[in-house]
């Protein structure tokens, strides 16, 4: 088990699974500059750690995942400084794009409560979302005269029907976990307090797969969903599938199937 000590997040690794916990419960796990820096450090460590295969992102407490950006920080440090505001958006892109979407490892959001604004933007950058039935999802920035700046508009449009995305962004009103599941935003809904446990069960199943094949799968899914045209997407898939067939995971998977035993991937 590997651990790092941070002030605003928890970070631990166990059985090939890394868990990052947003941990500022007195301010509803709001994201400030210190938390953003610690997220960059932890996600970079996860990305480079050859033992860690799956990541989980969750929030401290049973009623809140993350309420978004720290409003006090916006007023104190960003409101009158255009360069600081620009740097904040770039920081968000580094976290959500480079260290979450572009990493070759799956990351699952375990949403145990309200998931709003920047919190939802973090969850949208994960591979999929498991939510407690008391969770709420929303991009509420418009209510204080702002718009999502960490990829919320772009990713929400790709996650749910476009007209529903417009409604959520224009109104700034949250939806509940059942609505989110119906829209395809959430993969599974659990009883209150069970989101992390359910996510951990899923992560353990994923961690048992071939690391090499998982990396190729995420690459194919990420790039295939972003390219223009079916032919290009199929070309991406073809390359990933060809590479997978050359890996040790395929050899072990075939051997295990023929020998009627569980595969033991390196």
3-state secondary structure of 151: coil
The CATH architecture annotation of domain 2-207 reads Alpha-Beta Complex (3.90)
**Catalytic residue from among 121, 133, 201, 237:** 121
Instruction: Give residue 77's pLDDT.
Output: 76
Can you state the angle between helices 162-171 and 152-159, rounded to 10 degrees? 140
pLDDT at 256: 77
Q: Are 52 and 105 in contact (CB under 8 A)?
A: yes
Of 14, 12, 34, nearest in space to 24 by CA: 34
Set 38, 94, 101, 141: catalytic member: 141
Per-residue pLDDT 10s for the chain (266 aa) are 445 689 999 999 999 999 999 999 999 999 999 999 999 999 999 999 999 999 999 999 989 999 999 988 877 877 778 888 889 999 999 999 999 999 999 999 999 999 999 999 999 999 999 999 999 999 999 998 888 999 999 999 999 999 999 999 999 999 999 999 999 999 999 999 999 999 999 999 999 999 999 998 998 888 887 777 677 667 767 776 667 766 677 677 767 777 777 888 77
Q: Is residue 39 classed as helix, strand or coil in its secondary structure? A: helix
**Domain spans, the chain:** 2-207, 211-259
Burial of 136-152, coded b for 16+ CB within 10 Å and e otherwise, reads bbbbbbbeeebebbbbb
pTM: 0.87
Gap between the Cα atoms of 90 and 109, Å rounded = 22
- Quick one: which H or E segment has residue 217? helix 211-226
Q: For residue 79, what pLDDT is reported?
A: 72
Q: Respond yes or no: is residue 226 known to be catalytic.
A: no
C-alpha closest to that of 157 among 201, 104, 103, 121: 121
Q: Is 141 a catalytic residue?
A: yes
Write out the E strands in 23-143.
Answer: 54-59, 64-66, 107-111, 114-116, 128-132, 136-138
């Amino acid at each position: 088990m590997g651990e790092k000590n941070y002030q605003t997040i928890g970070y631990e690794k166990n059985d090939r699974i890394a868990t990052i916990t947003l941990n500022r419960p007195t301010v509803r796990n709001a994201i400030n500059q210190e938390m953003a820096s610690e997220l960059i450090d932890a996600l970079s460590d996860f990305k480079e750690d050859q033992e860690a295969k799956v990541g989980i992102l969750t929030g401290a407490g049973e009623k809140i995942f993350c309420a978004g950006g720290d409003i006090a920080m916006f007023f104190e440090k960003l409101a009158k400084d255009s360069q600081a505001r620009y740097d904040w958006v770039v920081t968000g892109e580094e976290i959500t794009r480079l260290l979450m979407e572009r990493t070759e490892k799956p990351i699952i959001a375990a949403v145990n409560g309200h998931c709003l604004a920047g919190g939802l933007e973090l969850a949208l950058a994960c591979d999929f979302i498991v939510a407690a039935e008391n969770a709420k999802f929303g991009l509420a920035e418009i209510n204080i005269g702002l718009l999502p700046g960490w990829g919320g508009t772009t990713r929400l449009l790709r996650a749910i029907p476009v007209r529903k995305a417009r409604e959520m962004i224009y109104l700034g009103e949250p939806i509940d976990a059942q609505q989110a599941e119906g829209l395809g935003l959430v993969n599974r809904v659990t009883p209150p307090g069970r989101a992390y446990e359910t996510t951990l069960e899923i992560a353990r199943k994923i961690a048992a797969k071939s690391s090499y094949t998982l990396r190729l799968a995420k690459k194919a899914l990420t790039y295939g969903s972003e390219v223009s045209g079916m032919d290009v997407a199929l070309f991406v898939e073809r390359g990933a599938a060809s590479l997978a067939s050359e890996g040790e995971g395929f050899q072990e998977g075939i051997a295990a199937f023929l020998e009627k035993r569980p595969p033991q991937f390196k």
